[in-house]
Amino acid sequence: MASFEKFYPRLKKWEGGYAELPGDSGGCTNYGIAFNYNRQLILDFNQDGSIDCEDMRVMPPEFAKKVSKSVYWDAFLADNIKNQQIAEMLVDWGFHQGVGTVIMEAQRILGLPQDGKFGIATLAAVNQAPQKEFYEKLYKAREAKYRSGGSQYLEGFLNRLRDFSPTLHSIATNKWTYVGLFFLVLLLVFVYLYRKEVLAFYKQIFTKK
């Protein structure tokens, strides 16, 4: 199953600092947490009696990490998604363009009713879909969404997308890793069973003049 701990370093790479971008409907943002979308969760971190962007500036990293998990990762039931790449693509896109928007895009690709809610039916469809095909459709849909938005930050958005592989790393791609491990285990078993003979063989070699 997918792991939030594996995903979070990627998120911090792109969302690791405080920002207030002109035209950003999310308002001031830190660690990927947008103030306008998460106002009810933000605390008075600087203890000045009001909750505003100054609190976002000093938001503790661990607090931001917990919000990232509960508001974004968990919205996709991502602990239960089988494929790490698919989980990361969905959640990272959700950070960038909104959880509901991304869920509806995924539901559209899967041929499900587009209600913007990631429930058991959507989770099952994600896990049962042909993984490579579904991932690549997500990648292309995300790129198309960026290009159609006409944002002045388009190139930055595309750079973030390019941080993901455009294709899925399937088990078939890594089959030689498993083959190699299989033969390594066989070798170790052989050495163990015939350790006396192997030891005698190498002793004979190294004692030759």
Closest by CA to 88, choosing from 26, 150, 13, 16, is: 13
Are both 155 and 182 inside the same structural domain?
no
Each residue's pLDDT tens digit, 126-174: 999 999 999 999 999 999 999 998 888 899 999 999 999 989 875 444 4
In angstroms, the CA 136 to CA 66 distance is 29
Each residue's pLDDT tens digit, 11-20: 999 987 899 9
Model pTM score: 0.77
Provide the domain limits for residue 182.
Answer: 173-209
In angstroms, the CA 209 to CA 207 distance is 6
Contacts of range 103-112, beta carbons closer than 8 Å, 24 or more positions apart: 103/75, 103/76, 105/138, 105/141, 105/142, 105/145, 106/138, 108/141, 109/134, 109/137, 109/138, 109/141, 110/134
In angstroms, the CA 85 to CA 78 distance is 11
How many folded domains does the chain comprise? 2
Are both 142 and 56 inside the same structural domain?
yes
Are both 131 and 202 inside the same structural domain?
no
Are both 143 and 186 inside the same structural domain?
no
Cα–Cα distances (Å) from 27 to 20, 48, 70, 75, 113, in that order, read 6, 20, 20, 21, 31
Are both 48 and 111 inside the same structural domain?
yes
